[in-house]
Structure 1
């Protein structure tokens, strides 16, 4: 009769040959999915609340203008200021800013939306100045940003 030998050694090794591939896939995923802040806020920006909001469709066609009291009041004073990108500007410079933003977009320049993120404590005078300059620059699509108001039932 034939005798059978039992295998007593079993391998407990975990294959790690695919591990670098998995790590690089995760790295690329997080590099693509991560968004960076576009600009550092130099003005205070507590947005008003609204109940009826709509989301902007193409964020690549949106240029943001922040209006509010400067964060550093010792350096910039206490009056409301206008911020675009990472700089504070005067209302007279808005036309130049809109032209630069339209040049960046190229053929989609007429579809640009100017999104105003205005502090709830800002005076209406500076807001109307900004709106007038946007009309002069032919930027007629204007969006006012707000936070969603929570409903109490």
Structure 2
């Protein structure tokens, strides 16, 4: 009689066929749950109440200008200041900011840029007029005033 040998083809390898799926699921999870940093506010920004609401069409064409009293009054004083991106600037620097923002856009979209003013409700009108004048000089004529929607407007 012949003896039959039992052949064992079992291997001790770890199956890696599902590994790419797991990696992509983790990647998508972190992409969805991660919040991108916008701007660190260096000025107080309590927005005034609004009675009407108009939604902006393309947020990629909006640049924000913050006006308010500095949070660090020891360093910057008590007078309202202008903040763009993460820096405080003087009114005469606004045209430079506008041109830099326009340079980031495609040539077709440069004339469609909107400057959104987020002004503290306690800010004086003089600094707002200075900002508007500088925006006119930079040919940024689409200006938006941001506010919060009051409960009675709903």
Range class of TM-score, shorter chain = 0.7 to 0.9
2:5 is aligned to: none
Unmatched segments (≥5 aa) in structure 1: 1-16
1:32-111 correspondence runs (5 A) = 32=32, 34-107=34-107, 108-111=109-112
- Tell me the equivalent position of 1:149: 150
Cα distance change of structure 1 residues 79 and 33 upon mapping to structure 2, 3 Å threshold: same
Counterpart in 2 of 1:125?
Answer: 126
Deviation at 1:78, TM superposition (A): 0.2
Greater shift after overlay, 41-50 or 143-152? 143-152
Indicate conservation of the 8 Å contact 2:52/2:153, yes or no.
no
State the Cα RMSD in Å. 2.2
Output the TM-score relative to the length of structure 2.
0.81
- Residue ranges of structure 2 left out of the alignment (5+ in a row): 1-16
Counterpart of 2:114? 113
TM-score, normalised by the number of residues in structure 1: 0.82
